Every structure is written in C-alpha cells, then in structure tokens.
Structure 1
Amino acid sequence: MTVSPPPPSPMDQKKGLGRRALLAIVLTLSVGIGSVYLYGPREPDVRIDYDVFRSEVQKGGVASVSVQGERIDGVFAKKHAKGEGKDKVEYTKFYTFLPSFGDPQLLGLLVANDVSLATRPRERSGWISTLLITLLPMLFIGGLFYMQYKRLRGQGGAGGLFGIGKSKASLYDKSRGGKTFEDVGGASGAKDELREIITFLKDPGRLSKLGGKPPKGVLLVGPPGTGKTLLARAVAGEADVPFYSTSGSAFMEMFVGVGASRVRSMFEDAKKNAPAMIFIDELDSIGRKRGAGLGGGHDEREQTLNQLLNEMDGFEPNEKVVVMSATNRPDVLDPALLRPGRFDRRITVELPSRADRTEILTLYAANKPMAEDVDLDELSRATAGFSGADLENLLNEATLYAMREERDAVAASDIERARDKVTLGLERKGMSMTEEEKRLIACHEGGHALAAARLAHADPLHKVSIIPHSRSLGATLQLPEDERHVFRKNYLKDRLAVMMGGRAAEVMLHGTFTSGAASDLHEATVLARRMVLEWGMGEAFSHVALGGERRNVFLGGEIASRREYSEETAHLVDNEVKRLLDEAFERASRILKDNRPVLERLIDALLEHEEISGPALAEIVGPADPQ
C-alpha cells in the first residue's frame, strides 16, 4: 500500500514560493552582472583629463590614439607616473573623453604632431546584453504580479483577484471541536429560542405538518459582552447542518458591487447544502437605515443591504436557510430588515442576573484552581451589572495577580484586587500625595461610608478605600443584598444622601469645598433629574413624565434632544432638582454631625490602613442606627 505524503500547509507553500522567487532574482542578477563583465567594454586603468591630453599631444608625448564616439584611447611615447610611494603607478595607456561641445581643432593637432590615429565605429551592445536589458525589467515586473496574485489568492479564496466577489463566509468544522449550550452560562430564554431553530433544521417536516412556516431570520440583540457571538458558536456546535459564519464588514470592499456579489455567493453556497444556517456578526455595519442622512450616505453599503433583503425574502424561494445575526445597535437597522419575513425572531440577550452570574463564574472558574476562601455566589452579588465578558476578564485578572504572588491557587484577595482594577482602574502606586490631601480624601470617603451605614434604605457597606486608582482617588463600595428592578422613592433619596455624604464631611470638618466631589455631584444631579422628569417623584410633578434626554445619537436616531415643555416648566424642574439635592445634603450633614466621633475614628483608621472592609469596618461604624 502506497501512503501519499500529507499536502503542504499554506504557510509552507508561501515559504516555498518566497524561496523560489528569491533564487530566481539572484540568478537573474548574477547572469546580468557576469554578462556585463565578460562582454562589456573593458576600460584601461588610468583616465586623464582632456586638457592634459591636449597638452601631451602638443609636446609630442602621445604616440597613437584610437577614437570611438566620444571616447579616446591612447598610448604615451614614454611611461608616466601617478601617485607617490607605495601608491605610485606607472602607465603608458590612457583614456579620456571629448567634451560635450566637441573640439574641431583636435584632428589638425594630431596630424601636426605625427600622432598615429585610428577610428572605430560606435560599438553596439551584444545580443546577450540586449536580451538581458529587455527581459530583466519584464521578469521583475512579472514576478511582482505573480507574488501579488498569490497573496490575493490566499486572502480572497480560490480565484484570487478574479474571485473577489466570492463569499468570504467560513464553513464551521465540527471535527475541530467547538462550543455547545453547556458551555454558555445563563441566557436560558435565549437558549430555548435557539433550540427551536435547531429542531426545525434537524426536522423540517415537523413544523410543516402543523401548517407553520419556518423562521427566516434570527436577530440576537443585547449590550456588548453578553454572549451573542458565543450563543452563535453554540448553535454551530449543536446543529447538524452546514453553518456559515461571517461579519458584516466582510462584504465591504473598495470595488463597487463586491458586497452584493458576496451576498449572492454566500446564499448560493448555503442553498446548495440546505438545510443550512448563515451567521452575520455585527449586522449594523451593512444594515443601517437607507437614506437616513446620519453620517452621510454610502451607496455600496445600501446595495449590499438591498441584495441581503432580496435573498432573505424576494422572488426567489429561500427555504431551509436560516439567517442569524447579532448586533448591539438595533435602533440603527433598516426597518425592512426587521419586518416579518426577514428577521422574524428577535432574541434579546440581557445582562446576566445574579443566578446567571454564578453560573457563568462557575464555568470560567472550572479550569482555574480556586482557594477555599473564594465564594463565587458572594462574588456574583458583588458584580452587579457585569456582562459575561466582564466576568471572564475579572477571573483572568485575578489569575494574573495570583501568578505575581506565586500562589498555587487564586485567592479571594486576588479577585478583590481584580475587581477594583476593573471598576476603579489601575492602582496608581507611584502617586505621591501630601498628608493634607490624604486627610481630605479620607474625610470624603468616611462621609460616604457613615451616611450609608446610618440610612435605612441604603445598600450595605462593603469596603472603604483611599488607595488611588486611575479613575478615582478613593472609593466607598456598597453591595446590594438583592438585585433591584423597581426603585422606591425612599431608596433613591437615601442614595442621593449617600452621594452627598462626602461633600457634607468636607464642609463640616474642613469648612471648604474640594474638587473631589465632582463625580458625586454629577451622578446625584443626573439621578435627581430622572426622578423628576421620568419617574414623577417631584412635588410639583407627581403624576407626569416630562421625558428624559436621549444620550446616544446612534441608538436614538436623533441628533438633538427635544424638550416638550415650556420655559416655565423647565424652571420648575430645575427648582425640583435643586430641592432634592439640597434635601439630600442636609440629611447627610445631620447624620455626620450626630456621629462626628465615629466619623473621626473612621478617618484615622483610613489614614492608618488605607483600606477597611468586612468586620473591621462594621466594628468602627458600630451597629446600625438608621434614621
């Protein structure tokens, strides 16, 4: 039995091509240089200036000359010397050149001085030199074109430059292993919806017996990092049908019509292997609203979108091919994409809940050694608002910290440091502060912490720190007992008072304002304005929503926010916001004045330890005495 050797890999092919091209260039240059050396004119050793030549002729020192074009080769009647010492060279043969303006007196001068004169016709290049001069540039240019062709073929698939309109979608290979729904934490609702799609692809007749039509498109929508692409990879691993994956940007090229051609080619490949699935990541890059005028028009992108719309639901039947896409910007998509018959099913992938975060953390911690003090359930409580990608990054950062400390397992302290880095930024170890600045920061954070400890509806304290990070000089962290989906007014008012605790402590102990309260004031103002405008929690606007501002021009589709109330109402809104903030400041100030000794103890402890959490913090602030 003959065993054929395995085919060379693309990398080996590229290396072989490079070696062959380099060898061809070296051989060509070697032949050219050798031919010039062998067949080209060989010049004498010594060249003299033309005025020296005329002077020697006039003195009778030149025996003979041979003229060929502008070149004059000659022989002196006696030897001449050039240089001194070891560099001294004696010679009789020489050459020089006629000046560009010529010398009509030269012939008479040679005859008058009995110089033997010989003339030769201009020497033509040999056929080898002519061939090299003609072919060498052509070979060089041809080599460049060949290498460019191979490069385009490697990037654009079969056909190279001529196949630029072919689909760039890659076919999923199950033999290399992949993800399944077991590898995706949380998102139970999204997984149930996608399992129905897989069931239809595996058994198309089951739905048709009930008179139903299969979905043509599935749109995954959600914030960045929630696992939309991961779910698509799980579908590819679960489905027993051909799965083609690509990105929206893969359809855009500098050539007109390439995007639409690639869409046609992709659907043709999928129809040949139907039932099949197509996944287009970042659909918003080609699916923006046509003619919206936002950011300028783009005819090539619109033509690509038109072709996609036609392939999904046009004159040609497109059964047994399901298109799945993902985007975190659904509001910029063209309405024609979202109508029934195109993307029939819209699946929203939300930020994970606490139970989902516990499941995700368990999956990502499975291949990492964890110390006994690590509580993933408690960590899920401390990571409210984190996406799945954020949780993966958190555990990876904790692993790096454990490696720096040369630990064999990831400890709870490593995870805590990683969480601070993710939420507060990188720790600024080299930052130097004066004692007065440290005391001001400790006073500010102590005010936040004491207000949080004394308010009945505030979230429990977790940690107070005055270690500077890239995003803040200090931090007071609170962890909610449970996730909140509906916010009561008393909870929001207590939250405003906690935000004002830092400014109130500065005024009470130092009698001044500092720039450290900038972020607190901004967040408190935004929260108070939403309470008045959107949630009807102001005294003058208890049962009316005046609308909030749209902050993202792309998601909202509007460049300028519209205010749908009068100037007088706007004045009343400003007064309501100011009243809520002043009330929060007064509540915080009253709490700090009633507990001034506790605040001073907390400040001293922060200056000594820089970070206080857990039982030590509870011991300092004392038992809860909510007001």
Structure 2
Amino acid sequence: MKPNVQNQHAPKGNPFMGFLWGILIVLFLNWLIFPNLTNRKINVTDYGTFIGKMEEGKIKEVMIKNNQIYFTVAEDGDRTQTYQTGEINDPQLVDRLLEAESPNPTGKIAFNQIVPEENSPILNFILMWILPGLIFYLIWKQATNSIRARMGSNGGNFMSFGSSGAKIYADSDVKTTFADVAGQNEAKETLTEIVDFLHNPQKYTDIGASLPKGALLVGPPGTGKTLIARAVAGEAKVPFFAISGSEFVQMFVGIGAAKVRDLFKQANEKAPCIIFIDEIDAIGKRRDASFGGNDEREQTLNQLLTEMDGFDGRKGVVILAATNRPESLDKALLRPGRFDRRIQMELPDLEGRKAILEVHLKKIKHDNIDMNLVARATAGSSGAELANIVNEAALRAVRMKRNRVTTNDLEESVETVIAGAQKKGKVISTDEKRIIAYHEIGHAMVAAMQTHSAPVHKITIIPRTSGALGYTMQVDNNEQVLLSKEDLFNRIVTYTGGRAAEELICNTVTTGASNDIEQATKLARAMVTRYGMSETYDMMGLETVKNAYLGGDTSLTCSTDTATDIDHEVLRLIKEAHQKARKIITENLEAMHQAATFLIEKETITGDEFMRILQQTEKQ
C-alpha cells in the first residue's frame, strides 16, 4: 500500500488582526493604569495666572493631584473653564485659598488634595512587565502562525532552522513517465531497475540484494536530468522530494546540516520515496585545505555523507542527484555505498534527436515533417534546445497565419535558435552586400570541393539578430562519431574560405571573418594540444579541459617555451588551410561569380541550387 503524501499546513492566521488586537489591549491598559492621560482637554497655564485669578475672586474650585493644581474659573455668565498648573512649594497657599473670595454661594473656594492610591509592588510588576511581555508574545505567535500557514511547513516546526524546504510531490501528483523522456535509452534502462525494486522489493531482498542508495545524473545542461528523475518517481508511483543544492547553503553555520537531517527524516517517514537533489555540486564540491572547520558548506556536505551512509537501503529511499560538473565533486560522495551509480546523460545522437522531436511534435498540429532533415540539421543540440526549436516553429506558423507546422517552419526555427531572428529592416549598401555574398559563397565553394566535408545545405546573406550578416549551413548525411585529421583540417579550410574569397575577388579584408578566425584557431589548437595530430608533438598531451559540460575551458600543461612552439604550429596549420582555400577559389572563379550573382538576387539559396550552378559551370 503506497503512502499518501499531502501538503500539511499550520493553522491559518492574520498578522494584521493580531497586531490590531495588541494595540487595542495596550490602549485599554493605558487607560486603566494612567487614566489621567485620557481625561478631557484642560488648558495649561502658569502659577502666576493661578494666583492672579485667585486674587480677582474668580476661582470656584481647586483640586491638587499628582503634584498638579487643577482650578475651575468662572467665566462670563454660567460658563466655567478648568486650568492646570504645576504645584510650587508655596507654604502660604492654604491661607490664600481660605482668605480668597469666590463666586460660589458660600463665597469661599472649595479646595481639596487627592492622595493617589498606590498599588502593591507585585501588581505593579505584573502590570509593567509581565502583561506587556505577554501581549507582545501573543502578537509574535499570531504572526508566525500566519507565515507558517502561507509557506507550508509540511508537518515540521517553522521556527526550527532544520526545516529542509524540499518540495514534496505525492505519488499521484507526478505525471511524468519514461514515455516523456526520449533520446536517453541507456539512462532509462539503468533506472528501470530502480523502478522495479520500488515496485517489487521482495524479489531483490529474498536474494539478499539491496537497492542502490544513490544514482548520480551527469551531463550537459538541457539533456533531461531533472525530467528523468521525475519520470522515475512517476513510473514507481512513489512520493518525490525535490530540492536544489543551493537551498542547503545558509548564512549561519549548522543550518544546512540541520536541513539535511530534516530531509532524510521526512524521507524515511514516507518511504518508499525518491529524493532528488538538483545541482548537487553547490554543496558537494571537493574539500581541500582552504576549508575551515566551521565552514557551512563543509558541515552540510559532512552531514549529507553521514545520512547517505546511515540510512537503510532496504526501506526504498533512493537518492537521485544531478550535476554539470562531476569533476568538482568530493571523492567521498562518489564512493560505492553513497552514489552507487553514475548515469551519463549525453547530448542525443541522430536517432535520439528524432525521438525527442517526435515527443514534442505530438503536442502541436503539424504536416508530414522530414524528421531526418531536421535531426541532421540540429547536430549537437540538447533535448531542451530541441523543445525550444519545436516551439519556435509553432510560433512561426501562427505568425504566418497557418494552423499547422511544416518542415520549413522547423528549418527556420533551427536558424533562429542558432543565429537569431532575421533583421529584415537592416539596410546594407550594394558594395557590402557584394562582399558578404562572395564571403559566403567562398565558404560554400571550399566545402563543396573537398571530399571530407559536410554537404552545403543553405546559403543566406540575410542579417540576423546575433550579429551575423550571413552564413553557410552544412548538414552531414550521417552522424559522425570520430573525426579524422583530414576532417578537422578540411573544416579549417572551410573556415578560411570566406576570407580567401574577399582577398581574391574583392581585393580587401573585412571584419566579417572574425568568427571564422576564432573557430579556425580553436580547432587548430585542439589538433595540436589535445588530439595528437601534430608531427612535432606526436601524442603528447599539452592541454587539459575543465568543465567539459559547461563550455570546456582549457588550460595548457606545458612550459612557456613549448607554448610558444604551439603557437607556431597552430599558425602553420592555419596558413596551410588558408592557401588551400585560395587555390580552390582561384580554380573556380567562374562558378564563384555565377553563384554570388544568384545569391545577391535571391538573398537565400539552397544547397541543391548551389550545386546545380557548379554543375552547369563545369559543363561549360
């Protein structure tokens, strides 16, 4: 019988109402304890005025109270006015009051002195200290109850700093299944065993096997690590605890560790269940000498290690974690008994991209889509990027006033994601447009005339919002797993084709080749330092890659002299590629002119149109 997890909330309250009640109680006590502050309005005057009114015979009544003199003066007619003045040490005051005349029927001033009753010390202590403290405690309690009700305590104590803050989804709330995850068949097969254990633990425990305590999902951003974790919970029909690693990192030392304890306590109560920690590298980074004994992140990591080592795997609590930086994780976190399995979530291959596109295309209306073409055009794209491409295609179909998505919509959305939207209003001069056209035809010509090069799919000189004034798209016929030295060198030749066309035909060099230069240099350096494709350095590794899933920053692992020699070797490769590109363009000048003229007129041509121009030129 599966446990039913529901969001538990504390009693609801209103902090404003609590505050209002507190003010009313304080005002009541103020009236009760200090009634003189709530008396009617009395005119304040000086002692000399009091003596003067007395000598004039206008005072009817005098009352002395709390070192203050209150006297009533007869005004015109029957009107009276009460005044207040401070009591002064006047030994003759009583005699003056007895001798003074008054408008009273008796002709004498009625005067009296009120001696205030003093409360007992215990009552004063209660009224001045205990009662106000109790009032403010009740206000604070009302406010915290209201905040707890809004945030949801999941049955924990709001004021406990150890509240994990994890989002808890009941088994019925997780709708994601393995059918929603495509392009990661190997990862799904690995996780299927965990799902089967949660469904049928008896057949595993009978043989003495225990469930893997943890599985680490590793891969580039957008490959579906969070999605497949939810799919495991959806397939197993168990509660799902989701929390980010950064939520454990707090300002005060010890709070993160308390959150870890609370998380595992809740998970054990709801077992079988799944705990998912996203971006675990936020707390799981490798410990080193720079860490102090009271470092918050280190204490949180130590508590996580202890909890993972201490809970019983037979209860059915599975920990899934995701990261883009596995190389930064602490070794103790990765050992067997904690994260027993490491599941690679790599970028999808050709068939994987087709499967992902099919999953997302089920949600939109579309015509017959050339899946093979779109999948080949999106090489290197993650699942999240493919989902974005499909959505962009649907938005384009709406803009074009159509109710179904076509292959052209998907092709244009691929270009939009890669190079940005078209800048149709950008004005380019005739001379610049000619240079851009020859630049792009130069890339296409060099690519078409080489054997180890991807076919040209599209050429355009329409500016894009990314800053590109034009581009040449190449699409491989098949998925390439290995790249030879010839493949990489020909790519460098293709990168230099645009600049070579500018030099030979336009007799100039422009800034349009900046991205080509960057890509060619990066590729040539990798050939020398990482791929062992240099005769000078043979198979010597001269560079290491850090954060391979987050851009792949590199750093040299060689001496300064060797770094200088590497620069010379990279320059030699680029120069050879540049000379080859110039040679190809020189041998095909007539085709270059015809293709460039056609491109200037149409602004966008397909690879088939470009190849027909080449074939016609060869026949001539």
TM-score bin, normalised by smaller chain: 0.7 to 0.9
Task: Within 5 Å, give how 1:354-393 maps onto structure 2.
Answer: 354-372=350-368, 374-393=369-388
- Per-residue deviation, residues 470-513 of structure 1 (Å, max 9, x unmatched): 35333222111112121122222221122112222333344433
Q: Aligned to 1:175, which of 168, 172, 175? A: 172
Alignment partner, residue 531 of structure 1:
527
2:448 is equivalent to residue 453 of structure 1:
yes
Task: Within 5 Å, give how 1:29-48 maps onto structure 2.
Answer: 29=23
Aligned residues: 596
Q: Is the 1:216–1:341 contact (alpha carbons within 8 Å) kept by the matching residues of 2?
A: yes
Q: Aligned to 2:491, which of 487, 492, 495? A: 495
1:93 partner SS: strand
Q: Aligned to 2:415, which of 416, 420, 426? A: 420
Q: Is the 1:453–1:621 contact (alpha carbons within 8 Å) kept by the matching residues of 2?
A: no
Report the CA distance shift for 1:261/1:68 in structure 2 as closer, same or farther (over 3 A).
closer
Report the CA distance shift for 1:71/1:402 in structure 2 as closer, same or farther (over 3 A).
farther
Task: Within 5 Å, give how 1:128-527 maps onto structure 2.
Answer: 135=131, 138-152=134-148, 154-161=151-158, 163-165=160-162, 173-204=170-201, 206=203, 215-239=212-236, 244-254=241-251, 256-264=253-261, 266-267=263-264, 277-291=274-288, 293=290, 299-313=295-309, 318-319=313-314, 321=316, 322-372=318-368, 374-427=369-422, 437-463=432-458, 464-527=460-523
1:476 partner SS: strand
- Per-residue deviation, residues 453-479 of structure 1 (Å, max 9, x unmatched): 333332222222332313533322211
Alignment partner, residue 563 of structure 1:
557
Residue type of the alignment partner of 1:187? Q
Deviation at 1:362, TM superposition (A): 0.4
Report the CA distance shift for 1:53/1:532 in structure 2 as closer, same or farther (over 3 A).
same
Alignment partner, residue 584 of structure 2:
591
2:415 partner SS: helix
Report the CA distance shift for 1:156/1:285 in structure 2 as closer, same or farther (over 3 A).
farther
- After superposing the two structures, state which structure 1 stretch, 516-525 or 264-273, moved more: 264-273
Deviation at 1:223, TM superposition (A): 1.4
Q: Is the 1:332–1:554 contact (alpha carbons within 8 Å) kept by the matching residues of 2?
A: no
Q: Output the CA distance in 2 between the equivalents of 1:365 and 1:529.
A: 40
Residue type of the alignment partner of 1:282? E
Give structure 1 stretches of 5+ with no counterpart: 1-7, 81-89
Alignment partner, residue 85 of structure 1:
none
Residue type of the alignment partner of 2:457? H
Deviation at 1:443, TM superposition (A): 4.1
Residue type of the alignment partner of 1:363? V
Residue type of the alignment partner of 2:81? K
Q: Is the 2:543–2:556 contact (alpha carbons within 8 Å) kept by the matching residues of 1?
A: no
Deviation at 1:535, TM superposition (A): 2.6
TM-score for both structures, normalised by structure 2: 0.78
- After superposing the two structures, state which structure 1 stretch, 304-313 or 64-73, moved more: 64-73
Deviation at 1:324, TM superposition (A): 3.2
- Per-residue deviation, residues 349-373 of structure 1 (Å, max 9, x unmatched): 211011011011101111210134x
Residue type of the alignment partner of 1:393? N
Q: Output the CA distance in 2 between the equivalents of 1:191 and 1:566.
A: 47
Q: Output the CA distance in 2 between the equivalents of 1:516 and 1:175.
A: 56
- After superposing the two structures, state which structure 1 stretch, 190-199 or 153-162, moved more: 153-162
Deviation at 1:408, TM superposition (A): 1.5
Q: Is the 2:492–2:520 contact (alpha carbons within 8 Å) kept by the matching residues of 1?
A: yes
Q: Is the 2:239–2:272 contact (alpha carbons within 8 Å) kept by the matching residues of 1?
A: yes
Residue type of the alignment partner of 1:342? R
- Per-residue deviation, residues 362-418 of structure 1 (Å, max 9, x unmatched): 01111210134x322221111111111111122122223333444322233432343
Residue type of the alignment partner of 1:392? A
Report the CA distance shift for 1:449/1:139 in structure 2 as closer, same or farther (over 3 A).
farther
Q: Is the 1:216–1:342 contact (alpha carbons within 8 Å) kept by the matching residues of 2?
A: yes
Report the CA distance shift for 1:74/1:441 in structure 2 as closer, same or farther (over 3 A).
farther
Alignment partner, residue 93 of structure 1:
81
Q: Output the CA distance in 2 between the equivalents of 1:442 and 1:297.
A: 63
Q: Output the CA distance in 2 between the equivalents of 1:620 and 1:72.
A: 115
Q: Output the CA distance in 2 between the equivalents of 1:305 and 1:430.
A: 55
Q: Output the CA distance in 2 between the equivalents of 1:132 and 1:73.
A: 28
Q: Aligned to 1:578, which of 561, 571, 583? A: 571
Q: Output the CA distance in 2 between the equivalents of 1:106 and 1:425.
A: 99
Residue type of the alignment partner of 2:509? F
TM-score for both structures, normalised by structure 1: 0.78
Q: Output the CA distance in 1 between the equivalents of 2:42 and 2:187.
A: 89
Residue type of the alignment partner of 1:484? Q
Q: Output the CA distance in 1 between the equivalents of 2:134 and 2:192.
A: 60
Q: Output the CA distance in 2 between the equivalents of 1:564 and 1:135.
A: 76
Q: Is the 1:78–1:92 contact (alpha carbons within 8 Å) kept by the matching residues of 2?
A: yes
Residue type of the alignment partner of 1:184? V
- After superposing the two structures, state which structure 1 stretch, 407-416 or 41-50, moved more: 41-50
Q: Output the CA distance in 1 between the equivalents of 2:118 and 2:156.
A: 43
Deviation at 1:346, TM superposition (A): 2.0
Q: Output the CA distance in 1 between the equivalents of 2:558 and 2:39.
A: 94
Residue type of the alignment partner of 1:385? G
- After superposing the two structures, state which structure 1 stretch, 250-259 or 483-492, moved more: 250-259
Q: Is the 1:397–1:418 contact (alpha carbons within 8 Å) kept by the matching residues of 2?
A: yes
Report the CA distance shift for 1:582/1:376 in structure 2 as closer, same or farther (over 3 A).
same
Alignment partner, residue 84 of structure 1:
none
2:490 partner SS: helix
1:286 partner SS: helix
- After superposing the two structures, state which structure 1 stretch, 331-340 or 51-60, moved more: 51-60
Residue type of the alignment partner of 2:361? A
2:13 partner SS: helix
- After superposing the two structures, state which structure 1 stretch, 224-233 or 470-479, moved more: 470-479
Q: CA RMSD in A?
A: 4.7
Q: Is the 1:457–1:490 contact (alpha carbons within 8 Å) kept by the matching residues of 2?
A: yes
Give structure 2 stretches of 5+ with no counterpart: 1-5, 103-108
Report the CA distance shift for 1:200/1:32 in structure 2 as closer, same or farther (over 3 A).
closer
Q: Is the 1:73–1:93 contact (alpha carbons within 8 Å) kept by the matching residues of 2?
A: no
Alignment partner, residue 612 of structure 1:
605
Q: Equivalent pairs: percent with the same residue?
A: 37
